[in-house]
C-alpha cells in the first residue's frame, strides 16, 4: 500500500483498538525504510488521539538522540494539553535507522553527535517535571505550553543498560522482546535496582512482543509469512515493503529448500485465540510484566484488524 494508505489504516486500527478495550496504542519511529511509514510519531499521535476517545496514545518511541530535549518536552506537553491524561512518551536510544540516515538527521554535520543519551534523558525529565536545578543553563526557558498536564514518560530498551537507567531514574520500563527474546533477566535487573521517584513508587514493566491471531493455526502461519520474509531480508540488509502472503510463502519455501530450515531469531506468538492467549500469558509471566504490548505486521489491513479483534476477545478486553 502507499504510505498515505498505511497512515490512514493506522488511525483506523487505533479506532478499533479503542473500541475493543485496549489500554494504549503506540507509534514507533523508523526512518528511510519502505516497510514502515513512521518517521515521526509525534505527527501521528495527535490525529490518532483525536480519532479515539479513551485509549492512551504515545510514542514507542521517540529516538531521543535525534532531538533537542526541550523540543520533545514542548511537543508532548502540547499533546498532553490537548488530550489530558492520555499521552505517553516512550523514549529510546536507538537511531531507528542505519548510521548514514542517522547522520542525515543531524542538524550539525561537522561531526557525529556524541552518545550523551542519559544526559538528554535527565534534561527532558527536568523540563517535564520542573526539576531542573536553578543553576542549570536552561532552567528559565522551560515554560511548557500544555501545563499542568504532562505526558507519562517510559524508557524503552532491549539491553541491561536501559534497565539500569530506568531503575535509577524511577521510570516505568518497556522491554522490546520483539528485538531480544532473552530479556526476562533484564526485567528482573530493572526491578531489583529500581529507585522510587516522585512519579512512580514501584517498578512497572511492559513487555512488547510479536503476536498474530487468526481463526485457524494454518491461517495464522500463512499470514505471518509476510513479516518473516520482510524481517529475514532486513537482517540481510535488504529493505522491502511488507510482501503479500503468496509471494512470502514462495520465498520462504525456496529459502527452506536451500538452507534446510528457516532461522527463527525472534519469538512470535501466533495461532488461534486460545493459543495466543496462552502464549502471551506465558510471556507476561516470564517477564513479571504488568502489561503486554503486541506488535502485529500483516500485508492485508483486514487481517491485521481481525487479529486484534481475536486477541481482544481471547482476553475479554472490553
For 190-248, the pLDDT digits (tens) are 999 999 999 999 999 999 999 999 999 999 999 999 999 999 998 888 999 999 999 99
- Local confidence band at 258 (pLDDT 50, 70, 90 cut-offs): confident
- Res 175: pLDDT: 98
H and E: helices and strands count for the chain: 11, 8
- Res 136: pLDDT: 83
Half-sphere exposure of 94 (CA within 13 A, CB side): 18
Taking the C-alpha atoms of residue 75 and residue 133, their distance in angstroms, rounded to an integer, is 22
Residue of higher predicted confidence among 250 and 262: 250
Taking the C-alpha atoms of residue 171 and residue 151, their distance in angstroms, rounded to an integer, is 13
- In this predicted structure, the answer to whether residue 318 has a pLDDT above a threshold of 60 is no
Taking the C-alpha atoms of residue 58 and residue 68, their distance in angstroms, rounded to an integer, is 18
Facing residues of 91 across strands? 62, 155
- Local confidence band at 17 (pLDDT 50, 70, 90 cut-offs): very high
- Res 242: pLDDT: 94
- Res 139: pLDDT: 77
- Res 264: pLDDT: 67
- Res 127: pLDDT: 94
Backbone phi and psi for residue 212, each to the nearest 5 degrees, phi listed first: -150, 130
Q: Using one digit for the tens of pLDDT, what is the confidence trace for 100-144? A: 777 777 777 777 777 889 999 999 999 999 998 888 888 777 789
Q: To the nearest whole percent, how much of the chain has pLDDT over 70?
A: 97
Half-sphere exposure of 208 (CA within 13 A, CB side): 21
> Which CATH number describes the domain made up of 1-157?
3.20.20.30
Q: Kindly state the cell numbers that stand for 89.
A: 512518551
Decide: 202 and 172 in contact? Cβ < 8 Å.
no
Average pLDDT score over residue span 76-98: 92
Average pLDDT score over residue span 145-163: 96
Q: Kindly state the cell numbers that stand for 175.
A: 522491554
Closest CA relative to residue 163, chosen from 178, 183, 182: 183
Mean pLDDT lowest among 29-38, 72-81, 131-140: 131-140
Taking the C-alpha atoms of residue 259 and residue 256, their distance in angstroms, rounded to an integer, is 5
**String of b and e for 250-266 (b: at least 16 CB within 10 Å)?**
ebbeebeeeeeeeeeeb
Domain boundaries, the chain: 1-157
Residue in the block written with cell 524511577: 170
Amino acid at each position: 500500500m502507499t504510505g498515505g494508505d498505511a497512515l490512514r489504516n493506522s488511525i483506523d486500527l487505533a479506532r478499533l483498538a479503542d473500541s475493543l478495550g485496549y489500554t494504549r496504542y503506540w507509534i514507533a519511529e523508523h526512518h528511510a525504510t519502505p516497510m514502515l511509514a513512521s518517521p515521526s510519531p509525534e505527527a501521528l499521535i495527535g490525529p490518532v488521539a483525536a480519532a479515539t476517545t479513551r485509549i492512551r496514545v504515545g510514542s514507542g518511541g521517540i529516538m531521543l538522540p535525534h532531538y533537542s530535549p526541550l523540543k520533545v518536552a514542548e511537543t508532548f506537553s502540547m499533546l498532553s494539553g490537548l488530550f489530558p491524561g492520555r499521552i505517553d512518551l516512550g523514549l529510546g536510544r536507538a537511531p531507528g535507522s542505519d548510521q548514514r540516515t542517522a547522520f542525515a538527521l543531524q542538524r550539525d554535520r561537522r561531526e557525529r553527535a556524541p552518545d550523551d543519551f542519559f544526559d538528554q534523558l535527565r534534561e527532558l525529565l527536568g523540563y517535564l517535571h520542573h526539576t531542573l536545578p536553578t543553576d542549570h543553563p536552561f532552567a528559565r526557558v522551560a515554560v511548557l505550553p500544555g501545563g499542568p498536564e504532562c505526558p507519562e514518560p517510559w524508557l524503552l530498551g532491549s539491553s541491561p543498560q536501559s534497565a539500569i537507567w530506568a531503575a535509577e531514574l524511577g521510570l516505568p520500563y518497556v522491554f522490546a522482546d520483539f528485538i531480544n527474546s532473552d530479556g526476562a533477566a533484564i526485567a528482573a535487573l530493572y526491578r531489583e535496582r529500581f529507585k522510587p521517584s516522585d512519579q512512580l513508587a514501584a517498578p512497572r514493566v511492559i513487555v512488547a512482543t510479536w503476536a498474530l491471531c487468526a481463526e485457524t493455526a494454518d491461517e495464522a502461519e500463512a499470514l505471518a509469512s509476510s513479516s518473516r520474509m520482510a524481517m529475514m531480508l532486513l537482517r540481510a540488509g535488504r529493505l522491502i515493503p511488507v510482501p503479500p502472503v503468496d509471494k512470502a510463502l514462495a520465498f520462504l519455501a525456496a529459502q527452506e529448500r536451500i538452507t534446510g530450515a528457516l532461522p527463527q531469531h525472534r519469538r512470535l506468538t501466533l495461532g488461534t485465540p486460545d493459543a495466543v492467549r496462552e502464549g502471551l500469558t506465558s510471556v507476561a509471566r516470564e517477564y513479571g510484566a504488568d502489561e503486554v504490548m503486541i506488535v502485529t505486521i500483516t500485508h492485508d489491513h483486514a487481517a491485521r484488524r481481525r487479529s486484534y479483534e481475536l486477541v481482544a476477545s481471547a482476553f475479554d478486553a472490553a
